[in-house]
Every structure is written in C-alpha cells, then in structure tokens.
A and B are shown apart, each in its own frame.
Chain A
Amino acid sequence: MPVILFSFSKFRLNKNNMATSSRLDAKVPQGPLETKWSKYRSSVPLVNPANKRNLEIIVIGTGLAGASAAATLAELGYAVKAFCFQDSPRRAHSIAAQGGINAAKNYQNDGDSIYRLFYDTIKGGDYRSREGNVHRLAEVSGSIIDQCVAAGVPFAREYGGLLSNRSFGGTQVQRTFYAAGQTGQQLLLGAYSGLQRQVGMGTVKMYNRHEMLDIVNIDGKCRGIIARNLITGELERHAAHAVLLCSGGYGNVFYLSTNAMGSNVTAAWKAHKRGAFFGNPCFTQIHPTCIPVSGEHQSKLTLMSESLRNDGRIWVPKAKNDTRPGNEIPEEERDYYLERRYPAFGNLVPRDIASRAAKERCDAGYGVGSSKLAVFLDFAAAVERYGRAEANKNNIHNASDSDIIAWGKAVVKEKYGNLFDMYKQITGEDPYQVPMRIYPAVHYTMGGLWVDYNLMTTVPGLYALGEANFSDHGANRLGASALMQGLADGYFVIPYTIGSYLSNEIRTGKISTEHEVFVKTEQEVRERIEKLLKIQGKTSPEIFHRRLGKIMWDKCGMARNEQGLKEAIIEIRQLREEFWSDVKVMGTATYFNPELDKANRVADFIELGELMCIDALTRNESCGGHFREEYQTEEGEAMRDDENFMFVSAWEHKGPEEWELHKEELIYENIKIAQRSYK
C-alpha cells in the first residue's frame, strides 16, 4: 500500500508507486463506459415505498446539489431534513452563478455528443478526474435541461421559441444553456421551488439559519449531525440513516474570492476530521475574469461571467507602463495575447490557462489600471460585428457608423446587460465606453471530499455532492459545468445510488439521539464554542481570516513553489496557534452572534489551509489549476507528470498537523492521454 505519512520534518514521497490504496474503492461499475451507468442504475438495490418513509436523510446545504437532492429524495418518499445557514434556502451561493449550464443536447447540430462533453471535461480537467463519473455526468446532462424547463426555469430562447445556446471556454461547440447572466439564480430558484413544494407537503423539514457543526458516527456509520440554531445559539442533535453534505466549496480560505461571505468549509472539514478523506485539496480554480481589487477594504471579489469571453477580446498594451485609457490605444499597439498564444481557442481557452496568461503579462509589467494588476476585456469589435448583423437583418445596407455602434450596443446589452451594469456600479466606469479591466480571482475548488461512484465518502452513510466533492472536474473545471454537476448529483445520481446503502438500513429502525456518541459529540462542540469565547484576545476573526488569505494567495495561489509552500505551512501553523490564544470573539453563544459563527469557520479554514499547502507540496507536477513553478515548459505551459502523479490524492486526517496520503490511481481506458493543447 503506497502511503505517505506527512510530517513536515520527515517528509518522504514514494514516487513510483501509484497503485490504488486498499482504503479506497471507487466502486465504478465494470463494463463498457457507455453502459456502466445505465446497467448500474437498473441493478442498484431498491427500497420499497413503505420502508422509505421510515428512512431519514439529512441534507446539509441547499444550493443546486442540496435543494435538488432534498426535493427529489422527498418525492421518492424518504423523510428528509434540510439545513442551511442562510435565512432561506434560496440564498445558497449557487444563485450567483452567471454564465450558464452545459448539456450535450446537440440542439445546435454542431457535432456535440455525450462523448464529446465527456472528453472535453476530462481534457479540461487535465486528466485528473475519474472516467466513469464524468461519463455519467455527460449522460444525465440532457435530462437536467428537460427537468429545469418543466419546472418553469425561463431559459433564453430564440425567436422560434426554442432554447438558445452560447459557447464557453475549453469547448468548440455551443452547448451552454443560459438565462441572461443569471443562470445560477434561475436554476436555483427552480430547485428551491421544488424544495419548498416538499416543505409545504411536510415531506422535507427545513431548518434555516442552522449550521452543521459536527457529524455523529456510531459503530462506523454516519448516524446524524450536531447543528447549531444560529438565532438562539442552541445545539441540536439530529439523527438520520444517511447524511448528504452539499455544502459547496472552500474558496474563502483565500479570504478574497468570488464566493459568498458565508461560504465555508466547516461541514466538510468536520466530516474530514471524523474520517472522510479529503480529495485533491490543492486543486483551486482561479477565474480569469473578475473585477480587480480596489483597495484594502475589499471584502470579496466579483466575477464577470466567462460568457463575456465569447464576445470580449482580452489584451494589454504592447508597451510597458502605458497609462492611456484603453479606448485611446490604437489597434496596432495592442497585444491580444490569448489570440497570439492560443490561436485555436483564442479568448476561449480554459480558465486556468487564461488566468496564468493574465498573470504572466502583469508580472512582466504590461498590466493596466492604477494597481497594474489588470488586463483589458474589450467589446468594441463585438459591438461593431453585432451592429452590422442587425443592420443587415433590418435590410439597411448603408447604415452610418454611429447607427451600427448603437445597434451593436443594444445587442450586447441584451446578452450581458446585467453584467455591464454590475461592472459600472462597482468600478464607476462605463464598460460600453471603455474596455473593462479584469484580473483573475479564486472562484471554485475542484478538490473536496473524496467520494466513490455512489458519491459516498470514506465514512459509510456520509455522502458529498456538488462542489463539496472532488469527483468530476479533475484539476480544472470548465465553465458552465458546476451547475451541471450540482444538479446531476442531486436530481439524477444520488436518488439511485443511495439505494445501494439504504436498502441495507431498513432494519435499523429509528436512531436515538440519546445515544452516548450524540451526547459526547454535542459536548465536544459545546466545549469548542466555549473555548472560542473564553480566549478574549485582541484580534478579531476577520483579521485572522485576512492574514490566512494573504498567505494562501501569495504562496498557494496561481503559482506555487516548494520553498513558498514550506514557508506557508510554517506560517499557517503559527497563525493557528495565535488564533487559539489571541482571537477576540464578542458576545455570547446564547443569541444571534455572527462573530462567533465567523470565528468557528475561520478556525477550520486555517486547518484546511495547511492541508492544501501540503497537498500542493507533494504534487510535484503542474496540472490544471495547480501550477508549480518548478514544473513548466520553456514557453511557460504547465508540465504534467503522468508517470508519477496520475492519481487522486486522498488525505486521511490522523491528528493535529498529521495526515496520511492514500492514492487512487486514475485509469483511462477510453481516452488517449495527451499533453493538453489549446494552440
């Protein structure tokens, strides 16, 4: 069994052994790729309706994965409890997804297929995801669109009444369905309405403003959770036959990210400390098109949808320190660096590549704006192109330039109006007049709890869905695939796969929350809260969070190296000690106290940060979003090491500052491994 015990002082890596650890069984069905899922789905054990009523399922989080899973499992007859820390399930951060959702419908007749979506996703993920899971994702993608339309999601449509599609990064077909720049909102509200329907019928019991603070494992199975009512501060015990973590990603470990302020790792981290292995924690997605940081007060970053790269052209001035406004720099003095470096995909290269290319130009001194940490995203060419098309549509062949520009702006407004408005509101600049300034920002985490084909973690009865798991996106996620995965897991995967576990639970009976493990776990949670409140140090949780974010961004961000990561691990350990001796949490635990909630989350982020750096340090290659400066080609492209690193890193928590690495070897039977090229 290949094992790496990570101890910082005596770190060793067993390089040539990638065989899968005996602790990890991915349970991918045998047989040809195309029939794995359909065969498995037809043979997975079922639970009869009378038994389903007696089986309880807890769902943590109500984003796309959680809301769709909770509603669907309740429709099937299970007794469901759903929890969210927000004041309503409709506020989960899936709501902020902008650009769209992929599906292999081939409505555009442009050569799309399930296989192509599967292939693009594996390649986009830089060959670090599991074939069986990704193919299943592609297979169910079409049903997601059908389901959403039936539920009343108002997708964008053509004049003929049929659904409209747009392009996204890393693909050469148009397979992205959208609702202006608010696709996530419309999909989440669709899933939320299905969830509220079940709440109204009493089949889902909804717990708003509740945060999961631990899981309860009895005799080796997950049997429930300890949750905290954020309004009253009371701790509650909830028992269940299965617990689904749909709690999203952990991008906020970087402090500044496009995640919501409340997005946190706590649920996943508690599960990790209770036995769930953490998969590929260092795989972070840095999104290329975000509004640049404007000052020290910055609390979060705002994404400008990748869909803008359909029509926007990215460039920097050819001269260093060119301070002219973008619209005054003539065409021949501009460097459209993505089109120059990657002619086949141009501005639509995948996110990791676009982000690194922006960083490269800025580091080389060609950045724009006051901070010099920005590049231009320019719509002038698209405005003119659309304007001419509109003129032709209206049969006007001698239109003036100003009319063409006015028509073009109207088209751009219809496609991206809300994004342009948002940009203007945040920066005070009008993107219809001057090019947008953008810079990469942390956006998504491909890593997450390790799960098998059934989406079960290494703790029996504990599942992870959506961004909370690691399974489908490898080392880099393609645009418009997060919404697809969240809904695939919730609507079409877990309702089937959970049967393979719950069919063996029908004789378990009701689980008592008086069990000693419930009592003990609740006590541990209570002690930690009391400890946080008792420290009464000098530094607020916010400041600790900001300091952690800076370490992570500087040393485990868009580019990483051995020395920086080693430093980061030491700095994070120091930060953790300082946190537990100097944090200042105001108020008490007996009423609504967001400061306490934040302190709890920051404490977990600090521990996660250490593991991310350890993971990045042990992966001696560059792949997808993980770019190790030591491993790059002469042209600065990422250099994968398939011979030694074609595996999933699944980390087992062994104690403070101690983890054990288990490897799941990735086997590609249907795809030819190639150096990823978008040139």
Chain B
Amino acid sequence: MEGNMSLSLKVWRQSNKETAGGFENYKLDSVSPDMSFLEMFDVLNEQLIEEGKEPVAFDHDCREGICGSCSMYINGRPHGPLRGVTVCQLHMRSFNDGDTIVVEPWRAQAFPVIKDLVVDRDAFDRVISAGGFVSVNTGNAQDANSLPVPKEAADDAFSAAACIGCGACVAACKNASAMLFVSAKISQLALLPQGQAERSIRAEKMVAQMDAEGFGACTNTGACSAECPKEISMENIARMNREYIGAKFSSSAV
C-alpha cells in the first residue's frame, strides 16, 4: 500500500429494513491522502473479504459527482465535511491521520435501509412521475430556436436542474423534508416557457406526492441547501411555495 494515514471507522451495518442495525468498528492503515472516500471504502472491503467478513454495501456508480448514487452520512453530515462535493469526490486529504470517522446511511422514513449504507430512494422517482415533466410526446416539437428564452431564465433553470437527486437534502433536514429536491424540479420547469402549460397542476401534484411519501414539512432551517453537493439554492423552495399557493387559489384539481 502507498499511503500512511491510519483511521478508525465506525460504520453502520444493517442486514435489511426489517432488522435492527448497529455500528461496527474497523481499523484501516496505509490510507493515501489521494484516495477518494469511496476508494478508502474499497480498501476496507478488500480487507474485510480477506478476513472472511462480508463487505460493507454502499451505493456508488459514476464516481465523478453526477449520478447521485453515493449517499454516505459522514461525521454527522451528508457527503462529509466539504461544501458542494459528493462522497465520491471527497478525498482523504480532507481528513487527518488518526481520525475516527463515523459513517451512516441517509436516515428518513421515506428512505428505508436496504442494506448497510444503501437506502431505497424510489420515493423520488414517484414524485417526478407525479408531474416533474413537460407532457410532450416525441415528434411534436417545433424548431428549437423558434422560442427564445432569456439567458437569465435559462441559466436559473439550469442551476435548479443541476440537482442530482441524491437525497442529501432529506438526510440533512431534521424533518426529513424533500422540499429542496421537489422545488428544484418545479423551479426548472416554471422558469422555462416550455413548462408553462402545466405549471399549476405540476406544483399541486408533486407536492401531494411528496406528502404522500412521508417526507416532512419545511421549517426553513436551510440545512438542505448548505449540505447539497450541487448547492441548489433555497430560492427554489420560496418559488415552489409561490407556485403551490398560486396553484391552490385557482385549483380545480387534486
């Protein structure tokens, strides 16, 4: 091995959502500061396999901060200590030799644990299915430049659309609220002309589904945005509230 950091890890182990879980302690030596946090976990898992123990299950895929799979709650913070960074891009140089690191899964009623650090985030997909789209079938589109969109609106829509759906906002929130995630999609489409036709009904349906999934209410604490690896702004929540209230005043549905 190439590194010289030694770490103590307290990792949440849980067989499935039916059984109770608990922390296990592991020691890891020869960690390189250039490893990513997940590569450090790869090393841990190889060590566990060597010892004949089951490796720790954790979600991960692209390892470049964009797929939204990785989801570790590190030392009490989703995605660990840095701002604007997912676990997969967190590197061990952000920790010190001799540190004890506590790693837990996302904790929320709407995100049941599947195994160890892996949780079920299907609730997010169902919220999108409720209205997070423009109802345009393939083949119906007019020329892409026939409708100019002011650059500022396009840029704001893009900033909201940068959400990776990881669920850190829910994990960070004391109420396990999904308002930042839901508001990012509502904002993206409310800011663009293409989203106007369904603007009201979208806000109503997505909020209704969000509530049905068991996510908590928003108390404007702001932990969601502070911990969001893509730094999605709280402004989106304010916009969603305006969209929702406006929709409810004129509602004929939901």
Contact = CB atoms under 8 A, between A and B. Distances in A.
A591 B16 contact: yes
Contacts of A499: none
B42 interface: yes
Contacts of A199: 125, 129
A299 B147 CA distance: 44
Interface stretch (A18-26, A148-156, A336-344): A148-156
B67 A196 contact: no
Nearest to A68: B138
Interface string B112-150: 001100101110111011101111111111111101111
Given A91-B67, A302-B64, A592-B118, A584 B151 contact: no
A150 B42 CA distance: 42
B192 A152 contact: yes
Contact of A163 (B53, B144, B155): B144
B15 interface: yes
A88 B121 contact: yes
Contacts of B129: 196-197, 199-200
Contacts of A157: 148-151, 154-155
B57 to A, nearest CB: 6
Interface residues of A, number: 83
Nearest to B17: A231
Interface stretch (A130-138, A177-185, A220-228, A312-320): A177-185
B148 A182 contact: no
A229 B120 CA distance: 14
B125 A88 contact: yes
Given A154-B154, A586-B54, A149 B194 contact: yes
A199 B53 CA distance: 39
Interface in A21-67: none
A296 B60 contact: no
Nearest to A588: B54
B63 interface: yes
A325 B155 CA distance: 36
A492 B141 CA distance: 12
B216 interface: no
A155 B154 contact: yes
A297 B35 contact: yes
Given A295-B32, A297-B43, A197 B61 contact: no
Contacts of A540: 46, 49
Given A146-B141, A147-B141, A163-B145, A587 B54 contact: yes
A296 B158 CA distance: 37
Contacts of A75: 137-138
Interface residues of B, number: 82
Given A95-B62, A160-B148, A185-B162, A297 B142 contact: no
B6 to A, nearest CB: 15
Contacts of A93: 61-62, 67
Interface in A66-123: 68, 71-72, 75, 86-91, 93, 95-96, 105, 107
Interface in A172-202: 179-180, 182, 184-186, 189, 192-194, 196-197, 199-200
Contacts of B142: 146, 150
B121 A592 contact: no
A298 to B, nearest CB: 7
Interface of B: 1-3, 15-16, 32, 34-36, 38-40, 42-43, 45-46, 49, 52-55, 57, 59-69, 84-85, 89, 91, 93, 114-115, 118, 120-122, 124-126, 128-130, 132-145, 147-151, 154-155, 157-158, 161-162, 164-165, 188-189, 192, 194-195
14 contacts: A87-B69, A95-B62, A143-B139, A145-B144, A146-B141, A150-B144, A161-B148, A200-B126, A295-B2, A297-B35, A425-B89, A491-B138, A586-B49, A592-B118
Given A146-B141, A155-B154, 9 more contacts: A68-B138, A150-B141, A261-B62, A262-B61, A421-B84, A422-B65, A492-B138, A540-B46, A592-B16
